[in-house]
Structure 1
């Protein structure tokens, strides 16, 4: 990656990148399944995300509505939690999903996220979002975080609205083409190895892997930077503006 060339654009993932996605997951398990403090929430969360991605890929991309979406959401909990000794019926899985969904709108930005977005924009950088999911659902989370008041709608790209799902490089190509950007001038910050690292690298973008949970790489792809906090992210990006 070329150093000291300010980024043309910086895009963020949403789930577990702008906010702590583990919080609504933990609350749902505690509220519905009455799991205790010793339950391995973080490990179970990673398995739920794995099955969510796997089932979505099997469905041809992130489902956005109807029976396919409902089945995927239930089955990801049934499959992931079975690995931790919790056998859920479809009805139980639906109750967990419903509680999980409700908790996703009581969320807050990670410390440092909003300040970094404002700082990048003040330096003339295009700032936007790229996220997988049904349009209405994802935008409700974006509104809950208040980011819609900072980032203009034409710079928010939701897979269900575009019709292309990460890690398909086509979603990233769509962003550059829509906004008249170059891939070499675009930076992407995301937590998911499969969706964010693989997808953005495949499109020729510069990638900051937000590995704040300390997980292992899943392939031979090489992110340009590995960061674990918004202080790290700010340090990497703002240094590029130094002459």
Structure 2
């Protein structure tokens, strides 16, 4: 039996929630720098994500095109890798960003993600997606993962298309209003503490923090529920008859 009654919704984040975002980062770093297995890829990835969020907030939201987008994309690599003793040239930063983008279309859903989405839908739950980024780029990843085969376009909300960026609570308000539900009826699954956990909770949503990298919370706020795998997420979102 579903833990939800009729007209409940579960929305997922995209990057590092539905697929492993570390994979294209690792491949991009290896392609440009020739690094080996001993490089701290995961630690550097966390700092890249930090600077991506930081620079996005500094710009007033994730840029969707033009010089601001290019600057944010390259500077996140420059600043992150500098913390690990790697001084990137501008040419290397551009090359790394290009390799990173290319690899983001050779991705697969986390184990159990497709099954959970399908099971939620079979039980009458509204299932959707909320993600930050330029529409064309995010749609490329959505299609690569075949998410569009399970979730209709009307339930996919991309910040660059909506004009609002996580963690702005107005994005979550917009989604709830679009599907005719109140925040108490909505659940959000995401990996980013700042964008997903705090953003959705600020809008009054229930939050499941997909903390599969086992990182520490960035503030005193506690999410609705933490989970480290899709098996754990399924246990939280589904109950047996």
- TM-score (normalizing by structure 1): 0.96
Can you list the C-alpha shifts for 1:166-216, whole angstroms capped at 9, x where unaligned?
A: 000000000001110111011100000000000000000000000000101
Please give the alpha-carbon distance, in whole angstroms, between the structure 1 residues aligned to 2:9 and 2:87. Answer: 45
What's the secondary structure of 1:18's corresponding residue?
Answer: coil
Verify the 8 A CA contact 1:201 1:221 in the aligned structure 2.
Answer: no
Q: Secondary structure at the match of 1:52?
A: helix
Deviations 1:66-108 (A, max 9, x none): 0000011010000000000110011110000000000000000
Aligned to 2:60: 60
Aligned length: 239
The alignment's C-alpha RMSD in Å is 1.2
- Does 1:226 find its partner at 2:238? no
Q: CA deviation at 1:149?
A: 1.0
d(CA) in 2 for partners of 1:206, 1:221: 13
Instruction: Say whether the 8 Å CA contact 1:128–1:156 is kept in structure 2.
Output: yes
Q: Is 2:72 aligned against 1:77?
A: no
- Alignment gaps of 5+ in structure 2: none
What is the CA–CA distance in structure 2 between the aligned matches of 1:29 and 1:91, rounded to whole Å?
A: 13
| TM-score normalised over the length of structure 2 | 0.97
Question: Which structure 2 residues correspond to residues 73-152 of structure 1 after superposition, within 5 A?
Answer: 73-152=73-152
Gaps in structure 1 of 5+ consecutive residues? none
Equivalent residue number for residue 17 of structure 1: 17
Superposition deviation, residue 5 in structure 1: 4.2
The aligned residue for residue 179 of structure 2 is 179
- Residues 167 and 196 in structure 1, CA contact (< 8 A), matched pair in contact too: yes
